[in-house]
Chains A and B, each alone.
Chain A
Amino acid sequence: MKYMFDFYLQTMKTAILSWFQYRVGQYFYMIGMVAEPVVYLVVWSTVASAQGGSVGGYTAGGFAAYYIVWTLVRNINIVFTPYGWEWRIQRGELSAMLLRPVHPIHYDLAFFAGTKFVVIVMWLPIAALLTLLFHPTFNTTPLGVIVFFFAIWGAYLIRSMLLWLLGMVTFWTTRVSAIYGLYFALELLLSGRLVPLSLMPPWVQGIASFLPFKWTFGFPIEALIGQLSVQQLFLGLGMQVSWIVASFLLVRVVWRFGIRHFSSVGN
């Protein structure tokens, strides 16, 4: 345990140092990323105004709060992607990782968690600017803040593991981008990324509750802006725990078969 803690700490430190090497580039990347929620925000604020001030329970200020928190959750949700898997296998980097006495997933979890410290620092001025421009309305509760703190890391773990599962498809097929495209489309619609889920038809909301996407995006946002009851907050955390356990077990099984296949065919 002590050794793993040291490993996580050192990998996180390495991640922070790596990100600082390209701080200007990373900052522009973050600014570019803000364009997506700003478009959604402008569209939905306009719709809200046209419909007498609110849509699906969101006012213009509510949308502003949603999409400002969105920018943070989106950044926390950046994990090792299937594109990275393709790159890693083609360049032989996975082989190098397999020679280490630490499972590669620990490296990815630690590395991307490390980058979050830089991300949060870089995000603060962007959030301040968006707040000045769009005047968000928060109904945040202390419990919501506490749940949000755990929920963003829960979201990070679920998304890390889901994308690891997708990435492991590269053990059997060289290209995984097409499947990732499908995943991305589902996530966009069913996570609350494109639009708050409460604006979706009830049957879509029903489906979304049983899929992992909502718990990686909409749930942490709604927890912070004060859209959820106490019961919904705890239910959300429970769903996150369930998805973490399920995806962790799936990763273990797929890894076992995948790595055996990889080791049989080489790279």
Chain B
Amino acid sequence: MSAFAYDITVAELSKTYFVPERDAGLWSSLKSLVRRKSRVVRAVDTISFNIAPGEVVGFLGPNGAGKTTTLKMLSGLLYPTSGALSVLDYTPSRREKDFLRQITLIMGNRNQLQWDLPALDSFELNRAIYHIPQAEFKRIRDEFIDLLDLGALVNKPVRNLSLGERMKMEIVGSLLHRPRVLFLDEPTIGLDVTMQRRIRNFIASYNQRYGATVLLTSHYMTDVEALCRRVIVIHHGHILFDGRLTDLTEQFASYKTINVTLEDSSIDLSSYGAVMEREAEMIKLRVPKTETARITSRLLSECSITDLTIEDPPIEDVIEQVFTQEQVIT
């Protein structure tokens, strides 16, 4: 398939930092004046992936895995050390104006709005920055304000908004120019579940309505499960998995959970598997994935059961399992 079929193409991309280092204490401080020590940190190590137009991809990994570094390279904030990347057929590090008009990078812990002014004033400034025609600007702005239910807040100075309200405003401000590619770095960090859901729904609706390509990092797996069919898992700068979210569970989950409701709750099920939880007649058993069928069959034949369900483990556990194994599977 040609590169033009993708909005984002990353090939053998690496980023290396030189991090100055010294031991604690005055003597080390004096020594560092004469001889500076530094350490090479390979934040991103020869990663490759492609993202098709309109795809929403979850970019997962623990802190320091290389997610933000990759997003910064894709948005043109960082020069890669080696490798090639292209976003909408532009080389991001050149930061051409036409490229910048078609992307956005939203970072959950950064504020891009005018702190002292109502968000409406910042939106107006963004209109001028991105050359959005007045009528189109008003239509999109009002549409986004409605979708995120911000009508009562747009006239309040940003500094007086709660974290969640501010994040919603940030998202509106960052999408007014209707970018084709969205890089979202922890957009729901620190928000309550209601606010997280609101933002998730908004991103999903933006993606459907405008066909935008989204690369999302989040530590909240509910975000990933709700938005992404495909995930890329990165750890220590390497890609450990790139594929469908369901395949991730299939490949990496080493156990399943059997929820059993017994007629007689006093029966001991520890010989069938690890009892994770017991609540009245309902017991949660953790069993090796390969043994699931056999244990289920034993349970059904040996115990008086009123209900039985089998579940995959939570995605958080699966991801943790991937990090533990740290093997390259793409």
Residues in chain A within 8 A of chain B (CB atoms): 3, 6-7, 9-11, 13-14, 17-18, 21-22, 92, 95-96, 98-102, 260, 263-266
- Complex contact A6–B128 (CB within 8 A): yes
Q: B124 an interface residue at 8 Å Cβ cutoff?
A: yes
- Complex contact B131–A18 (CB within 8 A): no
Q: Tell which of A17, A92, A99 touches B104, judged by Cβ atoms closer than 8 Å.
A: A99
Number of residues from B at the complex interface, CB < 8 A: 34
Q: What does DSSP make chain A's interface, helix, strand, loop or mixed?
A: helix
CB<8 Å pairs between A and B, sample of 24: A6-B128, A6-B131, A10-B125, A10-B128, A14-B114, A14-B121, A14-B122, A14-B125, A18-B117, A21-B116, A21-B117, A95-B72, A95-B110, A99-B75, A99-B100, A99-B104, A101-B97, A101-B98, A101-B101, A263-B77, A263-B93, A264-B79, A266-B17, A266-B78
> What number of residue pairs across chains A and B have CB atoms under 8 A from each other?
70
Most chain B CB atoms below 10 A, which of A3, A6, A102, A264: A264
CA distance A258 to B67 in the complex (A): 25
Most chain A CB atoms below 10 A, which of B93, B121, B129: B129
Q: Distance in Å from the Cβ of A59 to the closest Cβ of chain B?
A: 45
CA distance A13 to B98 in the complex (A): 26
CA distance A22 to B77 in the complex (A): 33
Q: B6 an interface residue at 8 Å Cβ cutoff?
A: no
Q: Distance in Å from the Cβ of B197 to the closest Cβ of chain A?
A: 26
In the complex, chain B residues whose CB is within 8 Å of the CB of A9: 128
Q: Tell which of B75, B100, B122, B129 touches A7, judged by Cβ atoms closer than 8 Å.
A: B129
Residue-wise interface mask of B (119-135) relative to A, using a CB-CB cutoff of 8 A (1 in contact, 0 not): 00110110111110000
Q: B205 an interface residue at 8 Å Cβ cutoff?
A: no
- Complex contact A10–B101 (CB within 8 A): no
- Complex contact A101–B114 (CB within 8 A): no
Q: B112 an interface residue at 8 Å Cβ cutoff?
A: yes
CA distance A21 to B75 in the complex (A): 33
Q: Using A22-B116, A99-B75 as known contacts, list a sample of 12 further A-B pairs with CB atoms less than 8 Å apart, ordered by residue number in A.
A: A10-B127, A11-B128, A14-B121, A14-B122, A18-B116, A92-B110, A99-B76, A101-B100, A260-B79, A264-B78, A266-B77, A266-B78
In the complex, chain A residues whose CB is within 8 Å of the CB of B72: 95, 266
**Given A17-B117, A18-B117, A22-B116: A98 and B77 interface contact (C-beta under 8 Å):** yes
